[in-house]
A = this chain, B = another copy of it.
Amino acid sequence: MSQRPEIRQILEAYRPIWALDHATALFSWDRETYMPADSAKSRGSAQGLLASMRQQRVVALTEIVSKAEKLEGLNDFDRGVVRNLKRELKYFTKVPPELVEELQRVRTEATVVWREAKKKSDFSLFQPHLEKIVELKRKEAEKLGYEGHPYNALMDLYEEGLTTLDVDRIFPLLVSNLKRILHHIMSSKSFPTNHVLENVPYDEESMRRVNQEVLRLLDMPEKTFRMDVSSHPFSINLSMDDARITTTYEGRNFKETIFSVIHECGHALYTLQIDPSMDYTPLAGAPSAGLDESQSRFLENFLGRSSPFTNLLYPVLKKNLPFISEYSEDDIYRYFNLVRPSPTREADEVTYNFHIFLRYELEKKLLSGEVEVSDLPTIWDDMMDEYVGVRPKNMAEGVLQDVHWSWGHFGYFPTYTLGNVIAATVFNRMKRALDFQDVIRRGDMGPIKMWLKENIHKWGATYSPKELQTKALGDVYNPEYLVRYLEEKYQT
């Protein structure tokens, strides 16, 4: 907590903003879990009204934040408060409300059209909407201002300070090495590309029990955390003492629901382990989408898909899913870790990053005008062929596969790969401090959670993502650890 009166004044004024965020988070959670189907209209109105109350209150902080920024001798906490609020204020100050409203309107419409276009596998329906969105995103980037590439302005909204220089340093090294690793796996057939367990149906009640056991294995708290069901898995933090996740039960391919649970628990854990002094402040969250994602990827891949965790999970699976008795622990491990070049963004650890690279390249070039929206379907398929080695059989599984562009999310995709890159760096650092395999083998998540808390979580958004990585990991967006981890895992 700050001793400076200016910062205290800011934090006092921030409490209602926090309360509005708390309410908005509960709105979202409820909408995806329990809200009656036809209550969307009034929920939408309430959400919009809360958003504008929030914006008014943030904008009212302009003067005091500017004043606080000029103070000398601020500590890290104070500087973090000022930095985060300045970022929020920048958006509200620089992007005119008419542009924000137009974006909102175009997105709402585009999302509906995208759904239809995907169903019909017809890009031409979506094209004019996407063209409008790209035009508005260019305007947004101009208004926000940037150095270098206009895409920097958009990436910065999700990952403070991230530039194309950073990302163009990450992908070439990653892509060339992943190509080599993928080639090795494919030719050595050391890991399968398909598994019979993908098609085995499961009983939902039994699977719910398995997921409860997964929570127990991860030692998730019972009184500040909960899990529900929704049509897409997500995590949301209402407060530092109220983190919620959801999962989905598709009825077959049981690893999907398990890994969504482990993934979302990574996000929840971040929230739950932030230092209590940051409660009710702008610091009560991750500093960026990439860092937030690094924690979910760490839990999902580095911990969840490891062989000791598979072994820990095996008796739980065997007890609850009768068909498991036909498979060994090693079968399950291979099912969890199959590598499959696929035209759609799926969750294997090797090919995933090709999909992100492709999207990054296209977004960047759409922004700069090097690529036209009308060229997307062809370029998409060609790049997919070049990097992943498969051609989508139609536009639904090609350029129309993601919802993100219809939402106007440009600059967000790269943070998925940043998440993987940072997670691998965490893995590398953590192994110096503790015997990772052995700790999992003993089923004791305490030391892992403590390491994450002490090095990353407890700081909340005190530091920028680059500062936090330097401080906690000694390395900033360095893809070498991810390459090394995958080399070891897939024995290349």
Contact surface of A with B, Cβ cutoff 8 Å: 15-16, 18-20, 22-23, 26-27, 30, 34-39, 41-43, 45-46, 49-50, 52-53, 221-226, 228, 238-242, 279-280
Contact = CB atoms under 8 A, between A and B. Distances in A.
B38 A50 contact: no
Given A16-B49, A27-B23, A49-B19, A39 B242 contact: yes
B225 A36 contact: yes
Nearest to A228: B34
A280 B45 CA distance: 9
A238 B39 contact: yes
Contacts of A221: 38
Contacts of A238: 39, 42
Given A19-B46, A19-B50, A53-B53, A224 B39 contact: yes
A38 to B, nearest CB: 4
B38 A223 contact: yes
Nearest to A57: B53
A104 to B, nearest CB: 17
Contacts of A279: 42
Contacts of A280: 42, 45
A395 B51 CA distance: 50
Given A23-B23, A26-B26, A26-B27, A241 B49 contact: no
Contacts of A30: 26, 30
A290 to B, nearest CB: 27
A90 B223 CA distance: 41
A239 B40 CA distance: 10
A241 B218 CA distance: 39
A321 to B, nearest CB: 23
Contacts of A26: 23, 26-27, 30
Contact of A42 (B16, B22, B34, B225): B22
Chain B CB count within 10 A is highest, among A19, A20, A34, A242, for A19
B22 A46 contact: yes
B42 A242 contact: yes
Copies of the polypeptide in the assembly: 2
Nearest to A23: B23
Contacts of A39: 223-224, 238-239, 241-242
A239 B23 contact: no
A272 to B, nearest CB: 11
A185 to B, nearest CB: 42
A323 to B, nearest CB: 26
A43 B239 CA distance: 8
Contacts of A19: 45-46, 49-50, 53
A36 B41 CA distance: 28
Contacts of A222: 36-37
A221 B224 CA distance: 33
B226 A38 contact: no
Contacts of A226: 34, 36
A412 B433 CA distance: 62
Nearest to A49: B19
Given A23-B23, A26-B27, A34-B226, A241 B15 contact: no
A16 B240 contact: no
B53 A16 contact: yes
B36 A242 contact: yes
A42 B223 contact: no
Contacts of A16: 49-50, 52-53
A15 B38 CA distance: 20
A41 B276 CA distance: 12
B41 A241 contact: yes
Nearest to A239: B42
A46 B34 contact: no
A39 B244 CA distance: 11
Nearest to A280: B45
A225 B38 CA distance: 9
16 contacts: A20-B50, A22-B42, A23-B23, A36-B226, A37-B222, A37-B223, A38-B221, A38-B241, A39-B238, A39-B242, A41-B241, A42-B242, A42-B280, A43-B239, A45-B280, A53-B53
Nearest to A56: B16
A45 B18 CA distance: 10
Nearest to A243: B36
Nearest to A242: B39
A92 to B, nearest CB: 18
Contacts of A22: 42-43, 46
